[in-house]
Structure 1
Amino acid sequence: MVWGSPGPADLAELPISSALHATLDDLAAQYDSSLNWDYPPDPGPWREARCARFNADVRAALASLRAELGPSYEIADEFGELHEDPDLDRYLADPKGFKR
């Protein structure tokens, strides 16, 4: 969440470079691909190495966002990091029969 004055900021309205806008849009699309769209509570498809790359890209994008916006904005990092679901192998072995 990005906060400016007087409250939450609309990402499309932020005074940031087009390259950073593109990066943030790409990260949002990547995040969407981490979800299991057939049944979201079940494990997503990403292995730990893919999660680690995404987490690093998010940290870099946050650093760029903070640098481009400066002190006039507060950026709350509420996202946390993604990690491979410990049940992924069991899910992949039998998606239809998978139960947590």
Structure 2
Amino acid sequence: MERYQIRFFYDWGCGWPFWSGNDAATVKFPEYCIDPKKLGLSEKTCERIDALGVWHDTALNWNYPPDPSPWRQEECDRFNAAVDDLVETIRAELGEEYELLDQQSRFQEDPDLDRYLADPQNFRR
């Protein structure tokens, strides 16, 4: 039997990080973005998924997305570690029937952040 491939990554403004990764998963989960409860994940894990999605969205400069993220490296590192831990938990809860593909980008502080913060109105890359 083919395993269900589930792609894991947060997209801006979409709280759930699950997307079908193969035909078997698309047939079982025809929706665009998969509700974690439909994957049979625990309530505690679903709460962590939601919280991480909210946190993820604070990494984007919503005033003008091409400008630097407001996150310093320390926050990037905390977020990246939380993603790693969550992925391990999800894999353990999903079991052998699923293959979780970790496609979440890991964040790094934008090298232009200080320049941006000094003069956001006139900032240009």
Band the TM-score falls in, shorter-chain normalisation: over 0.9
Mark the runs of 5 or more structure 1 residues left unpaired by the alignment.
none
Residue equivalent to 1:29:
54
For residues 55-74 of structure 1, give each alpha carbon's deviation from its aligned partner in whole angstroms, at most 9, with x where no partner exists: 00000000000000011111
Question: Secondary structure, in 3 states, of the residue corresponding to 2:102?
Answer: coil
Relative to the length of structure 2, the TM-score reads 0.75
The partner residue of 2:106 within 76, 81, 89 is 81
Aligned-residue CA RMSD (Å): 1.6
Task: Give the drift of 1:30.
Answer: 0.4
| Structure having the larger proportion of residues in helix | 1
1:67 aligns with 2:67: no
TM-score (norm: length of structure 1): 0.92
Instruction: Work out which structure has the larger RCO, using CA pairs closer than 8 Å and 6 or more positions apart in sequence.
Output: 1
Whose strand proportion is higher, 1 or 2?
A: 2
> Which range moved further: 69-78 or 30-39?
69-78
What number of residue pairs does the alignment pair up? 100
Q: What SS does structure 2 have at the residue aligned with 1:89? A: helix
Residue 74 of structure 2 aligns with which residue? Answer: 49
Unaligned runs of 5+ in 2: 1-6, 8-17
Over 3 Å counting, the alpha-carbon distance change for 1:4 and 1:18 in structure 2 is farther
Determine what percentage of the aligned residue pairs are the same residue.
44
